Structure 1
Amino acid sequence: MLQALRAKTSGLIAKIVLGAIIIAFSFFGIESYFISRTDSFVAKVGDREISQQEFRSRFDEYRQQKLQETGGQIDARLFEQPAIKRQFLDQLVDEQVLLAANEKLGAVIPADRLRKEISRIPAFQKDGQFDQDLYRARLAAVRKTPVGFADEVAREMSTREIPVAVATTAFVTDREVDDLLRLRGQLRDFRFVTLAKPQPADTKIGDEELEAYYKAHQQDYMNPEEVALDYLEMDAKALDVQLNPDDATLKERYEKDKARYVTSEQRLASHVLIKVAGDGGPDEQKKALEKAEKVAEAARSGKDFAELAKTSSDDLGSRALGGDLGWLDKGMTDPAFEDALYKLDKGQISDPVLSSEGYHVIELRDLRPGKTRSFEEVRDELAKEYQESERERVYNDKSGRLIDLTYADSTSLDPAATELGLTVQKTGLFSRQGGAGIASNPAVIEAAFSDPVLVQGNNSDKIELGPNHIAIVRVTEHKPATPKPLEEVRADIQKRIIEERVSKQARTRADALFARLEGGEGLDKIAAELELAVKEERGIGRNAVNVDGALVNAAFELPRPQEGTPAYKMVELANDEFALLRLDNVADADPTAVDATTRESAKNTLQQAIASSAARDFIASLRAGMDIKIAEDRM
């Protein structure tokens, strides 16, 4: 056989085929025949991928934020629902769609706007003012750099640019406001007859009917399934951590991160911004430059710079302040602006500087040299950071070890408890409705009754009880659900059978009477026959509080009655009662009768609704025009 194979591979045709294969390998690489590319993105927007790592990282940040906002009170199971994950993924997709649109349209966030946005964040303010040292310290505490954080803020701002621009184009006409006011203040008159809950026509229940109901509704008459748990709990707040570092430890951290405490030179600046009009063509550029040069010449000749800014600047944010930009650090403004600013001496006026916003004329009013804060100045900050980081480090180490140990031996919590110095705690028996203490937590209940824990007898995965607070549980006792004896529930079954008879009887009667109304009989005639009073409500608005809400909703669901064609509705009330309702009159509100404040409020409400709808529709149109792939199984 080997000889035959050799013969077949030594001919001319075989050599040609072999040559073609060699050429293919040389062009494409032999590894391409053995290594296949496996997509790992959760979503792909055009050529932009949202990786599993990015999705999980962003989703974890979102989950932690929500847990912190609610103090851990939110049901942690909510974040495991596919619908919630998909909703969050859609937000990330919208973000990428908008970033792509910004890039295509050339929309950018000016450095000045980015700086102002960051300076307005309360976490970076001291006494209501942006504090550069606090800014750097807070970022360092969460392991972020100013540049990286600025990129995050710029990205978030970018995703708002187009939707906000679209929303601002929304407008409403006076006629639309009038229509809203007419409908919102509309009043309706109606009459109705209440059909009280009937007495049961038959209260006799035979044993056969009772037993049949018992068997058909067996799940309603069960002693609930119950479990009892052993559990280990780890809470960062309860950890015994050495939180009083000595000076040597703090000095070591100070020397390691000394760059954090070096403040760069700051410059106190004002500016006049001259925007380029129109589409920014050569003529518009030339006119803007000439105007800026005149401003610079006037400032150098002694004219008050603040007055020039108030009369000439196109920067609405600083114009009222005389062009004041406050104290500026390096890296906080447009590169061209910053380069010109740091070439000035105190009191100097710059030549016009071109940026993405237009031409700037800059005045350097003062400067502060950079300095290094001493160890003594930052000792308290270092101690606080040490305490926070040390507690988190210990928690991360111990919680990670707890998870590893309970996974390595999934049949017991004792090894983990022994190594980590924890106490195995216990719950009493509880059902799927929960119990006392930790058994009231929905995530614990779900884990306790899950197949891996209840059926397979394993330790649970980690259960998030709150920020930096987890538990591992295992079932130690299980009582299956058992049917309650018939005699124990006999009275309840009898009551339910009679209630169901009454409910059916009440609906049948109401349906029959409503059919008579639709057939042409009047409400007064039927009421007289039943010896019931016809009640009347006049001038009832949508938010009436002294009338049954079901009646109000029914009255406003009916179309405006036409002459000779009454509008009727059967209304289901509480406690097996029904009402037969006739709509008599609809009176629109007079839009000219409201005061200016009310009208303006209505206009704003309508405009906000239209603006929100326009922004959503625009994003939807952008999505429709892009190639978007979603892999929900990778979330």
Structure 2
Amino acid sequence: MLQAMRNKMHGWPAIILLGISVFAMSFFGMEGYLTSSSDMSVAKVGKHEISQNDMQDRLNLLRQRANAEQGDQFDTSIFEKPEMKLRVLNSMIDQQLLLKANDDFGLTVSDQAVRDYIASIPAFQVDGHFDPTSYSAVLASQRKTPEMFEAEVRSDLAVQLLPRAIDASTIIPAADAERFLALRMQRRDVRYFLLPRPTISDAKVTDEQIDAYYKAHLADYTDPERVSVKYIEVNGADLASASAPSDEELRKRYADEKQRFVQPEQRLVSHILIDVPANATPEQQKAALAKANDIAAHATPEDFAELARKDSQDLGSKRQGGDLGWLERGVTNPAFESAMLAMTKGQISKPVLSPEGYHIIWLRDVRSGDAKPFEEVRDTLVKEATAADKDRLYNEVAGKLSDNTYQNPSSLEPASEALKLPIKETPLFSRAGGEGVAANPKVVAAAFSDDVLAQGNNSGLIDLGGDHSVVIHVDKHLPSTPRALADVRGDVHDRIIDERVAAEAKTQAQALLARLQKGDSMEDVAASSKLDVTAVKNALRVQADLPPSIRDHAFLLPHPADGKPQYASVDMGKGVYALLALDKVQPGDLSDVTADQRESLRQQMAQAYGAEATSELIEILRSRTEIKINKERL
């Protein structure tokens, strides 16, 4: 094509085109032709960008959590659906709005809060106490440094600052909790009887009626556009494992990376914290120092834990007698670390000032750092080497597949032959997705794209996550077509009958309801249809022996007035109706509700009100912030 253009670029057309190009460059600037946009954000919240990598990291994290919770029941495709991605993105936008609000209000997460949270994570504990070795091992397995993880924790805690402050400031008066309890435990006396599905007199359906209904509801009987695709997949889990590394290779790796397996020096520490507010007055600072000096002067190893439980203001360690577990360099703030490292075993320090306040530190024990022997870490080295080889092999095969299918866009055969990978097929599927790889929205989007569907080209390499990717090529394409009337005739007939039955049932129910509302007794009305009335006294909102539809409707009816029942008809579905009478409403009996249950309810109500207030705050922040979402990048 370039050669054809070159052949035609002579004479006056070339002069005109050149003139236009010069004008365009002078008008818009040369940089528009020499640079490309680096904006690959999924969304912008004010000046903050949420990148595609940020979005993918969040999806991966949620996917891992869901997989851990649900196990074999986990649906791997759920996080590929556009509506789920949009929900996750909106959550990330809300979090960014809260972080910006923290800056505006001057709210920050203290180093102590980060340390306390990390120390409370069970995966980092041994015998209920924080263990630096476990901490380092877990982070290494996730390919994270302590600084990276602490930044993540700080960010997570920062998102919770405002919601928790709102929760803490939400006050639920005892009277409100009592009223809610009385409403929740309200009792209602109800009677009802069921009208069975009626037998209609007009059960004949003509061909003309079937034809008319079919045409009027043609969309219900139209098969959507569908395709089937052929595809080649590269799955890291299926690739042949490379040969196990030799002992010599492993020992070399151990020698090169020996520092990874050195257990750093650790110190078993307890402390007592006397808090100093960030905006403390000089008098408050003096009072805190005086209190810390007094505690330090009287503290001994024998009574240190009791003093910590009594006086420490570090809620994270107070109940454990100030126990912080085994600590190493880089875990605490510089002032605390410097004092801790300068102490000898058994020593209790004088007050040490840090951003959180004054610490009295007791160094209970010290263990020096030792390197783990090769034999102890050999299995870890084997796993790492094998995983690295698999990653390399996957990237190599996936890269070759991408190159080959791009160079031969009209067929998968050349790539299949060159890479010895089979060509697989899917059943027909619509834009709503299908089975197997066709359940993945990325595959569906590619299958129905212009380049693949209309132009007949291979897709690009589609990353399905987890070292799994495919290239697809459309095999069959069926446009959207109505199903023949002959094929759906039975369904059309049944629908017409069902609609007639539903109409007849509603008419019957309304007629009986009118009789009740005019003053006829429910027993007489039921008897006229040879039906029995069921009475349920003191029904609760969770009444098990009441059909859910009747129970829910009974608690929506207004209170009976002047001793007259409230009546209603209830559609039970499939042509069945119920006639319902509400005879009496009584407040809940709260005599058996304990003080702890009442307090628990108040806390739940406070959280509910706090969550609603937080949602309202986020809506206000959204209205005041420019937010742009690039849905095509989801």
**What TM-score do the two structures reach when normalised by structure 2?**
0.82
Contact 2:130 2:324 in 1 (8 A): no
TM-aligned CA distance change 1:74 to 1:111, over 3 Å: same
Q: How does 1:131-142 map to 2 (within 5 A)?
A: 131-142=131-142
**Deviation for aligned residue 1:573:** 1.4
342 and 619 in structure 1: CA distance in 2 versus 1, 3 angstrom threshold = farther
Q: Tell me how far 1:103 sits from its aligned partner.
A: 3.7
* CA positional deviation for 1:561: 1.5
Distance 1:85 1:224, change over 3 A: closer
* CA positional deviation for 1:32: 11
| Alpha-carbon distance between aligned partners in 1 of 2:235 and 2:535, rounded to the nearest angstrom | 62
> SS of the residue aligned with 1:351?
coil
Paired letter, 1:411: S
Equivalent pair of 1:448/1:475 in contact (CA under 8 Å):
no
What is the Cα-based RMSD across aligned positions, in Å? 3.9
Q: Which residue of 1 aligns with 2:12?
A: none
Alignment of 1:605 with 2:604, yes or no, is yes
> Taking structure 1 as reference, are residues 588 and 243 closer, same or farther at Cα in structure 2, changes over 3 Å only?
farther
Code of the aligned partner of 1:345? T
1:550-576 Cα deviation digits (max 9, x unpaired) = 111111111111116542222101320
Write out per-residue CA displacement over residues 37-56 of structure 1, whole angstroms, 9 at most, x where no aligned residue. 98665444454443454344
Tell me: CA distance 1:557–1:202, structure 2 relative to 1, closer, same or farther (3 Å). Answer: same
Q: Quick one: distance in 2 between partners of 1:347 and 1:67?
A: 46
| Whole-angstrom distance in 1 between the partners of 2:85 and 2:111 | 34
1:31-42 paired onto structure 2 within 5 Å: 41-42=41-42
Contact 1:86 1:632 (C-alpha < 8 Å) held by counterparts: no
Structure 2 gaps of 5+ residues are 1-28
Mapping 1:291-370, distance limit 5 Å: 291-299=291-299, 304-370=303-369
CA distance in 2, matches of 1:197, 1:440: 42
Contact 2:565 2:584 in 1 (8 A): no
Instruction: State the distance in 1 between where 2:487 and 2:35 align.
Output: 68
Query: For 1:223 and 1:53, how far apart are their aligned partners in 2?
Result: 38
What are the residue-to-residue correspondences of 1:270-285 with 2, within 5 Å?
A: 270-276=270-276, 280-285=280-285
Residue 625 of structure 2: which of 621, 624, 627 is its match?
627
1:194 is matched with 194
One-letter code aligned to 2:327 = L
CA contact (8 A) 1:462 1:471 kept: yes
The aligned counterpart of 2:468 is: 469
Count of paired positions: 604
| Rounded Cα–Cα distance in structure 2 between residues aligned with 1:293 and 1:382 | 50
- State the AA in 2 paired with 1:558: L
* 8 Å contact from structure 1 (residues 410, 458) kept in 2: yes
Cα drift, residue 89 of structure 1: 2.6
Counterpart residue number, 2:556: 557
Deviation at 1:351, TM superposition (A): 2.8
- Work out the CA distance in 1 between the residues paired with 2:166 and 2:564: 46
Query: C-alpha offsets along residues 10-61 of structure 1, whole Å, 9 cap, x if unaligned?
Result: xxxxxxxxxxxxxxxxxxx997999899866544445444345434444454
Greater shift, 156-165 or 58-67, is seen at 58-67
| Equivalent residues of 1:111, 1:332 under 8 A apart | no
Flag the 1:547–1:417 CA change in 2: closer, same or farther, 3 A. Answer: same
Bigger Cα displacement from structure 2, 478-487 vs 265-274 = 478-487
Q: Which residue of 1 aligns with 2:254?
A: 254
Tell whether the 8 Å contact from 1:573 to 1:579 is kept in structure 2 after alignment.
Answer: yes
- Cα 1:311–1:259 shift into 2, 3 Å: same
Deviation at 1:346, TM superposition (A): 3.1
| Matches of 1:339 and 1:545, distance apart in 2 | 64
When residues 418 and 532 of structure 1 are mapped into structure 2, their CA distance, relative to the original with a 3 A threshold, is: same
Query: Residue 282 of structure 1: CA displacement?
Result: 0.3
Q: How many angstroms apart in 1 are the aligned matches of 2:36 and 2:392? A: 40
Asked whether the 8 Å contact 1:192–1:536 carries over to 2, the reply is yes
Give the letter aligned to residue 168 of structure 1. Answer: A
The answer (yes or no) to whether the contact 2:429–2:438 under 8 Å persists in 1 is no
Residue 394 of structure 2: aligned partner: 395
Deviation at 1:540, TM superposition (A): 1.7
1:438 maps to which residue? 436
Q: 1:245: which partner in 2? A: 245
Structure 1 equivalent of residue 582 of structure 2: 583
- TM-superposed CA distance for 1:155, in Å, is 1.5
Farther off after superposition, 598-607 or 286-295: 598-607
Residue identity opposite 1:457 in structure 2: G
Query: Could you tell me how far apart the structure 2 residues matched to 1:221 and 1:48 are?
Result: 48
Shift of 1:515: 4.6
Q: Superposition pairs for residues 400-549 of structure 1, below 5 Å?
A: 400-427=399-426, 438=436, 441=439, 443=441, 446=444, 450-452=448-450, 453-460=452-459, 467-478=466-477, 486=485, 489-515=488-514, 517-518=516-517, 523=522, 526-527=525-526, 529-549=528-548
CA deviations on 1:78-136 (whole Å, 9 max, x unpaired) are 44554433332332233333333444454443434423332343444466654434433
Deviates more, 1:215-224 or 1:258-267: 215-224
State the Cα distance separating 1:286 from its structure 2 match: 0.7
Q: 5+ residue gaps in structure 1?
A: 1-28
Q: Against the structure 1 CA distance between its residues 66 and 395, is the aligned structure 2 distance closer, same or farther, given a 3 Å change threshold?
A: farther
Change (3 A) 1:488 1:404: same
Tell me if structure 1 keeps the 8 A contact 2:131–2:326.
no
Give the counterpart letter for 2:233 in structure 1: E
Alpha-carbon distance between aligned partners in 1 of 2:282 and 2:541, rounded to the nearest angstrom: 59
Which residue does the alignment assign to 2:95? 95
Report the CA distance shift for 1:144/1:489 in structure 2 as closer, same or farther (over 3 A). closer
CA distance in 2, matches of 1:307, 1:538: 57
How far apart are the structure 2 equivalents of 1:183 and 1:617? 26
The amino acid that maps onto 1:93 is I
Change (3 A) 1:391 1:274: same
What displacement does 1:340 show? 1.7
1:145, distance to aligned residue in structure 2 (A): 1.7
* Rounded Cα–Cα distance in structure 1 between residues aligned with 2:239 and 2:33: 54
Give the whole-Å Cα distance in 2 for the aligned partners of 1:608 and 1:268: 38
Letter in 2 for 1:209: Q
CA drift at 1:601 = 4.5
Is the contact between residue 557 and residue 582 of structure 2 (CA under 8 Å) also seen in structure 1? yes
Q: What is the CA-CA distance between 1:330 and the residue it aligns to?
A: 0.8
Aligned residue number for residue 7 of structure 1: none
Tell me the distance in 1 between the aligned counterparts of 2:223 and 2:34: 59
1:264 aligns with 2:261: no
Query: 1:400: Cα distance to partner?
Result: 4.2
Which SS does the other structure have where 1:157 is aligned? helix
Cα distance, 1:396 vs. partner? 3.5
Q: 1:528 to 1:260 in 2, by over 3 A?
A: same
1:267-288 per-position Cα deviation (integer Å, ceiling 9, x unaligned): 2222222223795110111111
- Residue range with higher mean Cα deviation, 423-432 or 361-370: 423-432
Q: C-alpha separation between the residues in 1 aligned to 2:74 and 2:292? A: 56
Residue in 1 that maps onto 2:164: 164
Contact 1:310 1:320 in 2 (8 A): yes
Q: Which residue does 2:207 correspond to in 1?
A: 207
What's the secondary structure of 2:230's corresponding residue?
Answer: strand
How far apart, CA to CA, are the structure 1 residues paired with 2:579 and 2:213? 33
Q: Deviations over 1:512-543 (max 9, x none)?
A: 44455556666456445545444433222212
Counterpart amino acid of residue 365 in structure 1: R
CA–CA separation in structure 1 for the residues paired with 2:616 and 2:432: 42
- Using the aligned pairs only, state the percent identity: 42
* C-alpha contact (below 8 Å) 2:459/2:472 kept by paired residues: yes
Following TM superposition, by how much is the alpha carbon of 1:589 offset from its aligned partner in structure 2, in angstroms?
Answer: 1.1
Which amino acid counterpart does residue 606 of structure 1 have in structure 2? M
